[in-house]
Structure 1
Amino acid sequence: MKSSDEHNEPIPDSNSLVRVNATLESGVSNEFFVTDDATLDDGMGVLQFSKTDLADGGNLSISRLIPAEDMVISFDPIDNGCLNNLLVLFSGRASLSYAGSGRQMVTPAQGCGFRYLGSPVSFELEKWVEVRSLSVSLPPHRLEGYLDDDVPQFFRRLMGMAENEPCVMPFPVSEEMRVAIEQNIAPGLTGALRQLQLESAALMLITLVAQAMSDAGTQPHPLSSREHRSAQDAFERLKASLRTPPSLSELSRSVNLSDKRLNVAFRELFGGTVFEVLRNLRLEQARTLIERGELTIKEVAWQVGYTHVSNFTSAFTTMFGTSPASYARRLPRRSKADEA
């Protein structure tokens, strides 16, 4: 994409303007202002982006990004002051960094809320991993207007009612929640009806996050250090047995946790349920095996525990945005000198 200063066209209204900087691992960078027809420079990857201004302030953004290399991409709204942000992913994963608040992993099983106070928010993305996302950014008065006097604690912190400093907070995303949101932004409508659809999607996201955090708050007690250690042990057991993993009940018994507490611990530590983490471990290992180039796709699928290649292909494509065969074709061919 060409940066805005390469055009003679006027810069759009700054109230809805977002500056983006994308930098690949190789050092190639691209800075631009976001528009609905945004594309990355040749060789940097695939970007599809749309941003809709909401009626009373704020905006809703839908994006799809596949970086050609490991990438750091930052977003910096211009002249928007404080913004409350909710982010969910439909595929892929990203490590979010903001204003000294540390890093927060965002996955389809774990969304993130953060308070924007004028510094760019950055995401670390992995090569060829397709990241599809929805984000809603609202000024505090707009978010408060959606809520009654009994503001949930999650949103109280997000709006900065107690302090005016950066804040990053994860929230759980169930499969049902993710599917409902994605269905509610499906294309097809245009004009005023599309605007109404996206306004509704913003409200839905706020409602579902409030519900998810309310459910999370019903846990009888936070995870203990013993439970954390047990979950780490369970994680290592899964990694060591990808082809023939234990069932959830077998795994939880082996580390002396209930099924429910093990799933709670996995969500907190690894961003998903035991099943979701197992799937991700299998597919990450599959990608490594494909990159080594020593096995066929069928052999890779069997090695990581998939009996049917079609199921493996579907899962791999969903996670990485490309089929195993296409991923293998994109890899540079090793010379005999490299193999020696």
Structure 2
Amino acid sequence: MEIKNIIYKAQNSRWVEEEPEIIQSNPFETVAQIPKSLGKGETRTIQIRDGLSIGLINQRPTQSFMYNVKHNDLLELSFLLSGKMEVFIPGTQERCTARSGVSGLVLARPGFTIEVPANRPILIASLLVQPALIYSFVEDNPGLMLEGLINALNGPQDEIYCHEGAITPAIQFAIQQIISCPLQGPLRQIYLESKALELLALRLDQLNSHELNSNRPKPLAHRDIEKIHYAKDLLMDNMENPPSLLELSKQVGLNDFKLKKGFREVMGNTVFGYLREQRMAKAHRLLEEGKMNVTEVLYGVGYNDPSHFCSEFKKRFGRTPSSLIN
């Protein structure tokens, strides 16, 4: 997204438009502070190279607001890591609710509007990609079956394309590396370019798999997909003491077979495989922050056995938990 094209709209007794405070941190990176009347946080845009940029939204709103995002024929890949938002296309009936753990691939000309609820921190990572980069990927990789996306890119200016996918552990780890990049200057730009391309490849592979399997019989009903996301939310809210599979199936209103099958289809992992990966991701983040020791972190993410936690952590990240804080 282009910072200069963002306008916040806050609702008190009436709609009030506010432009963000712009901070130029380096030649390729721009930060916009959320208007103080709406809360705290920022929107960061990092221009990686022609046709590819990263957006990071990390905000704590004190009241509900909307902001308009305008693109010039760009494809947006968004990753909602925490929080909730409503997305709609002005002038159309297109509207959807996005929840944490979900990635959206959106082509909407000339842009769209995001509505963020009050008192709910929100963290979003996004990639903005020019069509030429997608075309080059398809030309260089004949195995890519991105027919739906390519048709949308070649379609009329009012064409709307949207694909929803899960934020897999690999995608989440790549995003975390982008957020916590320790480098500065030109090396930072090189590092972030490699991670942005990795993230783009992972998301296009997800879309490619979806298109290859698009003729599968009996897809999940929309109401069942909602229940799967509810099950995911219950797991995340009770990470320290999660419900059993039978308890979870009763809470969301699906039998355990449909829950297991549907969860793998929607989230790309088994129920407790997903929980394990999210525990590891949270543990990695907490250890990197350096505010808690290893014992506090392992209990905080739901482990009771230190040796089991350390073994799982090393298997996932290739290093011990203590190495992140020593």
Letter in 1 for 2:244: S
**Change beyond 3 A, Cα 1:140–1:67:** same
**Change beyond 3 A, Cα 1:197–1:29:** farther
Q: Which residue of 1 aligns with 2:139?
A: 148
User: Which residues in structure 2 correspond to 1:290-309 (within 5 Å)?
Assistant: none
Q: Could you report, residue by residue, the CA deviation over 1:256-277 in whole angstroms, capped at 9, with x for unpaired residues? A: 6344323157759xxx986799
> Could you tell me which of 233, 244, 258 is aligned with 1:247?
244
**Match status 1:221 vs 2:217:** yes
Q: Secondary structure at the match of 1:112?
A: strand
C-alpha displacement at 1:93, in angstroms? 2.1
Q: Using CA pairs under 8 Å that are at least 6 residues apart, name the structure with larger relative contact order, 1 or 2.
A: 1
2-structure distance, mates of 1:235, 1:191? 42
Letter in 1 for 2:7: N
C-alpha displacement at 1:208, in angstroms? 0.9
**Match status 1:44 vs 2:38:** yes
1-structure distance, mates of 2:147, 2:97? 18
1-structure distance, mates of 2:180, 2:8? 27
Letter in 1 for 2:19: F
Q: Are the equivalent residues in 2 in contact too, given 1:87–1:133 (CA < 8 A)?
A: yes
Q: Are the equivalent residues in 1 in contact too, given 2:260–2:271 (CA < 8 A)?
A: no
RMSD of equivalent CA atoms: 4.1
**Change beyond 3 A, Cα 1:247–1:38:** same
Q: Which residue of 2 aligns with 1:306?
A: none
TM norm structure 1: 0.61
Q: Give the structure with the larger strand fraction.
A: 2
1-structure distance, mates of 2:61, 2:225? 35
**Change beyond 3 A, Cα 1:125–1:231:** closer
Letter in 1 for 2:185: G
Q: How many residues get paired?
A: 257
Q: Secondary structure at the match of 1:65?
A: strand
C-alpha displacement at 1:235, in angstroms? 6.0
Structure 2 residue runs of 5 or longer lacking an equivalent are 24-29, 276-298, 302-326
> Could you tell me which of 154, 165, 170 is aligned with 1:161?
154
Q: Which residue of 1 aligns with 2:312?
A: none
> Could you tell me which of 6, 9, 17 is aligned with 1:23?
9
User: Which residues in structure 2 correspond to 1:162-201 (within 5 Å)?
Assistant: 162-164=155-157, 165-201=159-195
Q: Could you report, residue by residue, the CA deviation over 1:112-143 in whole angstroms, capped at 9, with x for unpaired residues? A: 1111322x421111212111121111221123
Q: Secondary structure at the match of 2:34?
A: coil
Pick the structure with greater CA Rg: 1
TM norm structure 2: 0.63
Identical aligned residues as a percent: 18
**Match status 1:103 vs 2:95:** yes
